[in-house]
Structure 1
């Protein structure tokens, strides 16, 4: 999710579409939150780790 968010962010900046930039930021932040939650030992979505 983090990589997808960064890709959307870059494409949105290159094309000039602010909606893609916004969606890219949101997706990247959600990916980072899931990664941090998974690394602290909490099960995320029924998984003990989240890649």
Structure 2
């Protein structure tokens, strides 16, 4: 569950940075959020199988 919370935090950070005009920070935050969501989904599927 911590991975999902981190992904949400980075998503919110990206939205705020994008609104304030910091495009580089927003893009990097969205990339991190995307990878954290992917990791969360993989771990969720593995935990349901095992």
Asked if Structure 1 and Structure 2 have the same fold, meaning a TM-score greater than 0.5 normalized by the shorter chain, the answer is yes
Q: Which runs of 4+ in 1 moved over 4 A?
A: none
Structure 2, unmatched stretches of 5+, are 19-25
Output the TM-score relative to the length of structure 1.
0.68
How much is the aligned-residue C-alpha RMSD, in angstroms?
1.0
Q: How many residues align?
A: 41
Structure 1, unmatched stretches of 5+, are 42-51
- Bigger relative contact order, structure 1 or 2, given CA contacts below 8 A and separation 6+? 2
Q: Which residue of 1 aligns with 2:38?
A: 29
